[in-house]
Amino acid sequence: MERFDAVVVGAGPAGSTAAWRLARAGASVLLIDRARFPRDKPCGGGLTLRAVREAPVDVSPVVEDVVDRMELRLNFGRTFERGGDKPLVWMTQRRRLDAHLLEEAARAGTVVRDGVRVTGLTEEPDGVTVSWEGGRARSAVLVGADGANGLSARSLGFTSSYVHGVAFEGNVRYDHVSQGRYGGRVVVELGGIPGGYGWVFPKGDHVNVGLGGWEEEGPRLRTELRRLCAEHGVCLEDLEEIRGYRLPLREPTSVLARGRSLVVGDAAGLVDPVSGDGMFEGFLSAQYASEAVLDVLAGRAGALEPYGPRLAGRLARQLWASWGVKGALDRFPRTTFAVARTQIVWRAVERLVRGEVSDIGEVHGLARPPLKALALLARAAGDPGRAYRGA
Ligand SMILES: Cc1cc2nc3c(=O)[nH]c(=O)nc-3n(C[C@H](O)[C@H](O)[C@H](O)COP(=O)(O)OP(=O)(O)OC[C@H]3O[C@@H](n4cnc5c(N)ncnc54)[C@H](O)[C@@H]3O)c2cc1C
């Protein structure tokens, strides 16, 4: 049986950056993924600047477009555009980003095994045994980074309290849509799907078009995607690689770590409820997880439990606000849209997206009154995020 300080299951953004951080700190690390790389993952590929700030390695080699403006529309009617001065989002393709992060993890000293599906995890008091067809490894700690459909969270008993969104997307080449219209710009379509939105994201030679919402909206998504495409002058038939995927959203009570195991990224249900983004949370959780792992490996802590409350505390206000805005958009779309379009609120949104403030609690000054109005709308919608605030 092979032995490592840490085994990381899953080589998405969360797993590869956790492995990178641990290997760089001198730990022996095995990173396993069932897919052979390069592999794709259904995703808009939008790296907000706050996600870029959190990434421990330079991701600029795989950036295909830089977005500095956002166009928001309600029910394919009222529209506003903001930005145009500083970058907000870097656009990549997951096939390229994830291969790049995996290579960086390997370069930092991680032992990488792709094309290997983990089939079992056995917890013991002082470590974890990881099994796959034809092999096993023993490690002092396990990082579960195997995404929305992985086995770590399930087999470790961490997932009993997740809810899910679902998203559906595809790519259209610039032969069929105008690069002048979409390049450097994100288009967000609100009001169409309960619990979500539609988007058009620019890439090097195509745009990514997609939409998401509550899981029960799944059966409607193909029809809604056709409508979204038509609004942007595209035939659904010109969309390539159409696919859907789940977005896992943790509840305040969900467990993030126990004994010698923890979960990061989508395996931990860390997708933001209003934006559907998960890469910032993937990078952030990988950072907090690697700190907790290094404490255990160095004998400074006996178990990984401190990771859970630390991460939940860092994300508490963000989750409270995001769930609130999601509730307000579902219940009062027009009023919420009207408040969001004000320049003052938009400046606050830009600062959050760029990571200049870590959450809404750090936004002061003139933005407070309209943000209070949003908070009132959220409260009138049942304040769906209140339980996170105390997490
Ligand atoms: C349609 C859509 C659009 C999105 N758009 C954006 C966006 O624009 N920006 C953003 O920030 N977020 C976006 N997200 C969310 C984002 O894609 C996820 O939050 C992100 O991929 C999470 O990264 P991760 O590393 O946790 O998991 P993943 O990227 O899902 O990686 C998990 C890995 O685990 C591997 N694995 C699974 N099971 C096993 C096993 N048994 N053994 C070994 N390996 C296994 C998988 O092969 C995979 O490589 C979007 C999501 C969807 C569905």
Instruction: Tell me what the mean pLDDT of segment 217-234 comes to.
Output: 94
- CB-ligand 1 contact for 198 (6 Å cutoff): no
- CB-ligand 1 contact for 243 (6 Å cutoff): no
Of 27-41, 146-160, 337-351, which one has max mean pLDDT? 27-41
Nearest to 142 by CA among 22, 288, 293, 301: 293
- CB-ligand 1 contact for 247 (6 Å cutoff): yes
Q: Is the pLDDT of residue 327 over 70?
A: yes
Going from the C-alpha of 91 to that of each of 47, 88, 96, 180, 333, the distances in angstroms are 6, 10, 11, 16, 28
Q: Report pLDDT for 161.
A: 65
Q: Report pLDDT for 160.
A: 61
Q: Report pLDDT for 132.
A: 96
| Strands 135-144 and 2-9, bridge-based pairing | parallel
Q: Is the pLDDT of residue 159 over 80?
A: no
Q: Measuring from atom 22 of ligand 1, which residue has the nearest CA?
A: 266
Instruction: Tell me what the mean pLDDT of segment 305-330 comes to.
Output: 95
Q: Measuring from atom 29 of ligand 1, which residue has the nearest CA?
A: 12
Angle at 226 between CA 223 and CA 232, to 5 degrees: 145
Q: Report pLDDT for 360.
A: 81
* ω into 219 cis (within 30 of 0): no
Three-class DSSP category at 84: coil
C-alpha span between 230 and 264 (Å, rounded): 37
- CB-ligand 1 contact for 273 (6 Å cutoff): no
Q: Which of 277, 287, 318, 322 to mutate to test the pocket of ligand 1 (most atoms within 8 A of CB)?
A: 277
Sheet of strand 162-173, all strands in order from the earlier edge strand to the far edge: 79-83, 69-74, 185-190, 197-202, 206-214, 162-173, 240-250
Higher-confidence residue of 217 and 160: namely 217
Instruction: Tell me what the mean pLDDT of segment 165-174 comes to.
Output: 96
Three-class DSSP category at 54: helix
* Residue 253 pLDDT class (50, 70, 90 cuts): confident
Q: Measuring from atom 16 of ligand 1, which residue has the nearest CA?
A: 278
Share of residues in the chain with pLDDT > 70 (%) = 99
Which range has the worst mean pLDDT, 49-53, 183-187, 215-219? 215-219
CB of 51 closer than 8 Å to CB of 279: yes
Share of residues in the chain with pLDDT > 90 (%) = 87
pLDDT digits (tens, 9 = 90+) for 118-139: 999 999 989 999 999 999 999 9
Closest approach atom of ligand 1 to CA 244 = 1
C-alpha span between 243 and 97 (Å, rounded): 19
DSSP letters for 301-370: -SSSTTHHHHHHHHHHHHHHHHHHHHHHHHH-HHHHHHHHTSHHHHHHHHHHHHTSSSSGGG--GGGHHH
- CB-ligand 1 contact for 213 (6 Å cutoff): no
Q: Give the distance (Å) from ligand 1 centre to CA of residue 294.
A: 24
Q: Report pLDDT for 389.
A: 82
Closest approach atom of ligand 1 to CA 51 = 11
Nearest to 265 by CA among 243, 249, 244: 249
Nearest to 206 by CA among 167, 232, 245: 232
* Residue 391 pLDDT class (50, 70, 90 cuts): low
- CB-ligand 1 contact for 199 (6 Å cutoff): no
- pTM (2 decimals)? 0.97
Q: Which of 7, 17, 31, 43 to mutate to test the pocket of ligand 1 (most atoms within 8 A of CB)?
A: 43
Q: Is the pLDDT of residue 364 over 90?
A: no
C-alpha span between 219 and 207 (Å, rounded): 24
Q: Is the pLDDT of residue 172 over 80?
A: yes
Q: Mean pLDDT of all residues in the chain?
A: 94
Instruction: Tell me what the mean pLDDT of segment 30-40 comes to.
Output: 98
Nearest to 199 by CA among 366, 82, 70, 81: 70
Instruction: Tell me what the mean pLDDT of segment 38-57 comes to.
Output: 97
Instruction: Tell me what the mean pLDDT of segment 306-325 comes to.
Output: 95
Instruction: Tell me what the mean pLDDT of segment 304-328 comes to.
Output: 95
Q: Give the distance (Å) from ligand 1 centre to CA of residue 269.
A: 11
* Residue 144 pLDDT class (50, 70, 90 cuts): very high
- CB-ligand 1 contact for 272 (6 Å cutoff): no
- CB-ligand 1 contact for 282 (6 Å cutoff): yes
Q: Give the distance (Å) from ligand 1 centre to CA of residue 148.
A: 7
Q: Report pLDDT for 129.
A: 97
Closest approach atom of ligand 1 to CA 278 = 19
Q: Which of 8, 32, 34, 287 to mutate to test the pocket of ligand 1 (most atoms within 8 A of CB)?
A: 34
Q: Give the distance (Å) from ligand 1 centre to CA of residue 379.
A: 31
Amino acid at 164: H
Instruction: Tell me what the mean pLDDT of segment 194-211 comes to.
Output: 96
Q: Report pLDDT for 101.
A: 98
